[in-house]
Structure 1
Amino acid sequence: MVVLRTTTGVALVALGAGLAVRPFASLAVLLLLVLAGLLVTAVAELLDLPEAGLPRRLALARAGLALLAAVVLVGWTAAGVAAVVVVVGLTLLGHGALDVWTARRLRGTDRWNALLGGVAAIAFGLLALAWPDVSVVLIGVLFGVRLLLLGARLLAGRRRRHARTVLGSALVAVLALVLLVVGLALDRAAPRPDAFYTAPASVPDAPGVLIRSQPFTRSVPSDARAWRILYTTTRDDGVPAVASGLVVVPRERAADLPVVAWAHGTTGIARGCAPSLGEPFTSGALFALDDVVDRGWALVATDYVGLGTDGPHPYLIGQGEGRSVLDAVRAARQLTDAGLGERTVLWGHSQGGHAALWAGALAPSYAPDVPLDGVAALAPASDLTALVDGLGEMTGGELFGSYVIAAYARAYDDVRLRSYVRPAARAIVEEIAARCLAEPSTLVSVATLLSLDKPIWNGDPTRGPLARRLAENIPAGVIPAPLLVAQGLDDDLIRPAAQEAWVAARCAAGQAIDYREYAGREHVSLVEADSPAIADLLAWTADRLAGPSGGLPAQPPPAGTCPPR
C-alpha cells in the first residue's frame, strides 16, 4: 500500500507539474494529460480518504466523479478544448464541494487542508467556466495545481501533515479567490446598454426616422450641447433595424449648421461596444471634436446597428455600416433644437473609413435627401482581403481577425466559424467577440492570443466563402462627392502598400481621389489632435463646406491617374 501511495503521489505531482508548467502545448497533449490526471486522481482518492478515517463511500464518490469526468471527456473529444474546459471546471467544482463537506468530519490540520483545498477548487472551477477563453490557456494550470496538492498530500502521509501543508493550501486558496474577484471585477466593468437602446414595440419601416432622443453630457465640450438618439435604419438584407448615435452642436444656437457625420473606428462587435456607452468620442478615435465645435459645425456620430441596439453588428460589412451613417444624419435633422442644415461631409477612420466609403457610394441611391459635400476616409479598411491576410504579422492582430470571422459568420450563412478557426481557438474567438476593445478584460484576450503556440486560423483565412464575402465588401462603388483618403506610412494594421494598391485600382476605374500620405504616423496617431492629417482634414472640410452645395465638382480624372495632391 505504501508503494502504491508513493507511486500515485509521484504520478500526480509529475502530471500536475507538466500541466502547470506547459499548460497548452497542444490540444492533444492537454487532453492526454488531463485524462491521465483524472484517472490517477480516482486512484488517489481511494487511497487517501480511508486512511483519514472517513467513510469509504465518500472515497468512492470522489473517485467516481473523477472517473465520470474522464469518460465524458473521452466521449466528447469532438468538442475539442471546450470539452476540456467544461469537464475540468465541473470536476473542480464537484471535488471542491466534496472537500468542503468532508472538512466537517476532520480535525486539526486535515480539516484546514480539506477546507482550503475545497475553496481553491471551487474558485478555480468557477473561473474556468466563467472565462472559457482564459481557461483554454490556464486550464492546465488550474487542474495542474489541484493535482500537485493532492499528490503532495499523498506523499506526505497523514502523520506528516503539519502547518506547512496548511500554509501551502492557504496560499493556493488566496490565489484562486483573487483571480475570481479580478474576473468578477472585469466582468462588472463591461458596458451594458440601458433602456434607451431598446427599440419600442412598434418601429417605423422607413429608414432615418428619429425614435427618441435624450440630452447627453459625458465628455461633451463645455461650449457644446449634445443628445443621444435612437433611429431607424436597415440591415444588409434590407430588413428594418434600429441604431443609436450622438449629436453634438455648438451651445450658441444657430440655424442650418453644417454637419460632420462621423463613422467611428473599431470598438468591438458586442452590443455593449457602442461609443455612446463608453468614452463616446475617443473610443472610436475622434480626437477633433473641439475643432468641429469651434468651427461652428455639428457632429452626428452613429454607433452603427448592433452596438448599443440589438445585433448582429455589420463589422466591415459595407451596406449595414453605410446605411447607419446616412440614416443617422436623416434622424439628427429631426432634432428641432439642434438646428442642423443640409451641408454634410462624412469623416471616418479605420472601420469608420470603410463605412464612410460605402456611405459615399450609397448616398445617391439610398439617401438622395443627404447630398454630400465630401467624404474623408482616414486609414480606411479598404482592401479587406489584404487586411485579414496581414493580421497574423501584427502583434495582437488576431484580435481584429476574431471580430471579422465572428461578424461574418453571424451575417452570412455560407461562412462558418468552424471552417476557419481551429478547434483549440474557437472558445477564444467567441469570447473575444463578446468583449469590447476598450474593456479592461480585452487585455486578457490579447494575452491569451499571445500565449497560443499557433495562429487562430485553420488554414488560410482568405479562401472559400469568407474570401468571396470579403471581396464583396471591398468599397468599389463610385463616390460622386469629393473624396479624401489619408494614410499613415508607419501603420502596421492598414498597410500603406495595400492602401496604395486600392487607391490605384479606384483611380484606374475613374474615381477622383485626393490621396495623402503622412510619414511617421501609425494607425491611431494619424488621427490624434497633433497630427498634420487632422489640420489638413479640417482645412479640406472647410473648403468643401464653403463651395457650392454638393461640394466642389469632382471631375473624373484620366484613366489610371488621380488628381495631384
Structure 2
Amino acid sequence: MMVGGGATNSALLARAEPVAAAGDDFYLPPPLPPTPGAIVRAEPAQVAFSAPGMPGVVPAAATRMMYVSSDTHDAPTAVVGTLLQPSVPWTGPGERPLIAYAGGTKGQGDQCAPSKLMTQVVGYQPPADITFEYDLLALYSLLARGMTVVVTDYHGLGTPDVHDYLNRKSQAYALLDAARAALQLPGTGLNPGTPVALYGYSQGGMASAGAAELQPSYAPELNVRGAYVGGPVVDDEYFIGYNDGRPSIAPAFAWILNGIAADYPETRPILDAELNDTGKAILSDALGKCAVPVSLAQLHPRTSEWTTSGEPLTAVIDRNPELKSAFDEQRIGTLTPSVPVLTASAMNDEGAPYVPVREMAAGWCGSGVPVELDPNAQIPTVSGLVGTHVLAFFPSLADSQQWLTDRLAGWPAPNNCGALP
C-alpha cells in the first residue's frame, strides 16, 4: 500500500469527529435519557457458539440491547451489549450470578463490535481486513458453568462515535452500565441484588480494572463480588513506548491516537502539527480496521516514522502538555477498588507490559485491597502474531472462573500482597 501524500490537517480533524455507523439501524441512537444503564432498545439475537476446539454448544438465549452509558467526560452516550442467558443450571453458591464481560481488542471499525462478531465468529471486510471472536472460548466456559454473561461493545464500536480504544473511563463505564442494563431486562431472573463479577483480558483487563476502581463512586448499587483483571494495559503511553517497533502491535497506537483526538479536541491541532503525512495516513487507515488487519501501521511500526520531528510518539507526548494530560488520564492504579481482585499477567508478556501491572497491584495492596497477582511464569516467550500475550490468556481461564465462584461463595479472597512475584 502506498502512503498518500495528500493527508492534511483538516483531514485529520475530520477523522476525529464521529463517523456514521454502518449497516444496522439498531446501532443508531435516538435522543438519550440521562440515566446511565437505562435501556434504549432491546431485541432477541442469534449467537454462534461453535468454534474449532469447542466440543459442543452451550445453548444460550441472547438479547442485543442498546443502553445509556457515559463517555470519558461523563456525558451520556449510547453503547450496545449482548446478554447471554445459559440454559444449563447454575450449581454454584446462592443465586445465578451475572458476569460483566469486557472483551479483548477487536479494532476500531464498526464491524468489529462484539455484538456483530458473535453472530458470525469471523468477520471479513475486503480487501484484507479480517477478525474473529476469540472471546468465545471464555464465554463458552462461563456459560457452561451456568453463569449469565453480559458483553459490552464499548463506546463507539458499532455506534456513530469513534471507539476510544484503551480509554480508562469510557471502557469502565460501558462495562458497569452493561451490568446495570442487564439487571433491568425483564424475564431474565436477574434483580438489583444479583451478584456481579467483572471479567476481562487484555483490553478487557484494562476495562475490568478501570471498572473495579470506578465502581464505588460510579455504580455503588451494584453487588460486585470481585474482578478478574487479565493481561491489562495499565498505562497507554508506557504501552506505546514498550511496543514501539513491533509490527503486530503498531495498529493499536493509531487506535489510541484516534480515540484521544476524538475525546480531547484540544489535542487535535497538536497531532496535526506533530504527525507527518505517513502518520496521518496510518491514523486514517486504522480508523475502520479490525484487530487482525494488513495495515499501513504494520509497514511503519516505528513511531519515529510517523512524526514531523522524527521523534517517537512518547517524546511527542511528553513535550506537549495537552497530550500528556490526556494520556495521564488513562492510567490505571490511581483509585482503589472496593472488591477483591485477581490479576494475571505474564512477566514476559510482549504486548501488555508486566512492570506497570505489578505497580498497579502493589498500589492496590497498599490501599488494603486483597489482590492476587499471578505472573504466569510457565508461559514461554513467543513473538509474532500469536505471542506470549495471546498464550497467557488460556491458563487463567479455569483458575479465574473458580476464583470467581469462590468469591460468590463468600470465601476469603487469597492475596500475595506480602510478596508480589
> Which of 319, 325, 328 is equivalent to 1:471?
328
Residue aligning to 1:262: 101
Mark the CA change 1:494 to 1:461 in structure 2 (over 3 Å): closer, same or farther: same
1:404-429 Cα deviation digits (max 9, x unpaired)? 11110111123232244323331122
Q: Deviations over 1:48-96 (max 9, x none)?
A: xxxxxxxxxxxxxxxxxxxxxxxxxxxxxxxx81269xxxxxxxxxxxx
Q: Share of identical aligned residues, percent? A: 27
Match of 2:26 among 171, 174, 196: 196
C-alpha displacement of 1:243: 0.6
Change (3 A) 1:419 1:292: same
Name the counterpart of 1:321: 171
Instruction: Report which of the two has the higher share of helix.
Output: 1
Contact 1:350 1:381 in 2 (8 A): yes
- Give the partner amino acid of 2:46: T
Look up the match of 1:520. 379
Counterparts of 1:454 and 1:536, CA distance in 2: 41
Corresponding position: 1:206 with 2:35: yes
CA drift of 1:461 comes to 2.0
Check the 8 A contact 2:370/2:413 in 1, yes or no: no
* Secondary structure of the corresponding residue to residue 66 of structure 2: strand
Would the alpha carbon gap of residues 387 and 335 (structure 1) be closer, same or farther in structure 2, given more than 3 Å must change?
same
2:65 alignment partner in structure 1: 229
Q: Map 1:526-537 to 2 at 5 A.
A: 526-527=392-393, 531-537=394-400
Q: Distance in 2 between the 1:448 and 1:238 partners?
A: 37
- Structure 2: how far apart are the matches of 1:544 and 1:487? 20
With structure 2 as the length reference, what TM-score do the two structures score?
0.79
Asked if the contact 2:7–2:280 (Cα under 8 Å) also holds between the matched residues in 1, the reply is no
Q: 1:491 aligns with which of 320, 342, 349?
A: 349
Please give the per-residue CA displacement for 1:496-539, whole angstroms capped at 9, x wherever unaligned. Answer: 23433433344345443210011326112222xxx321121011
TM-score (norm 1): 0.60
* Amino acid in structure 1 at the alignment position of 2:180: R
Q: Among 277, 287, 291, which residue is 2:137 paired with?
A: 287
Question: Matches of 1:393 and 1:500 in 2, distance apart?
Answer: 24
SS of the aligned residue for 1:424 comes to helix
> Would the aligned equivalents of 1:261 and 1:346 in 2 still touch at CA under 8 Å?
yes
Task: Name the aligned partner's letter for residue 395 of structure 2.
Answer: P
Cα distance 1:375–1:563, how it changes in 2: closer, same or farther (>3 A)?
farther
1:472 CA drift (Å): 1.6
Q: Which secondary structure state, in structure 2, belongs to the residue aligned with residue 81 of structure 1?
A: coil
> For 2:44, which of 211, 215, 219 is the aligned residue?
215
Deviation at 1:302, TM superposition (A): 0.5
* Offset at residue 553 of structure 1 (A): 6.9
Query: Equivalent residue for 1:245?
Result: 81
In 2, Cα distance between the equivalents of 1:453 and 1:237?
28
Report the CA distance shift for 1:83/1:209 in structure 2 as closer, same or farther (over 3 A): closer
String of CA shifts for 1:123-173, please: whole Å, max 9, x gaps.
xxxxxxxxxxxxxxxxxxxxxxxxxxxxxxxxxxxxxxxxxxxxxxxxxxx
Q: Which runs of 5+ in 1 are unaligned?
A: 1-22, 28-79, 85-190
Q: Judging changes above 3 Å, is the alpha-carbon distance between structure 1 residues 252 and 536 closer, same or farther for their aligned structure 2 residues?
A: closer
Correspondence for 2:278? 424
Asked whether the equivalents of residues 305 and 324 of structure 1 are also in contact (C-alpha less than 8 Å), the reply is yes
Of the candidates 204, 215, 227, which is equivalent to residue 352 of structure 1?
204
Gaps of 5+ in 2: 9-20, 50-56, 122-131, 381-387
State the 1:370 CA deviation: 1.0
CA contact (8 A) 2:164 2:256 kept: no
The residue matched to 1:415 in structure 2 has which SS?
helix
1:449 equivalent among 300, 312, 334: 300
- Distance, in Å, in 2 between the alignment partners of 1:252 and 1:533 is 23
Q: Please report the RMSD computed on the Cα atoms of aligned residues, expressed in angstroms.
A: 2.9
Q: How many residues align?
A: 368
Aligned in 2, Cα 1:508/1:420: closer, same or farther, shift over 3 Å?
farther
Q: 1:301 deviation in Å?
A: 0.5
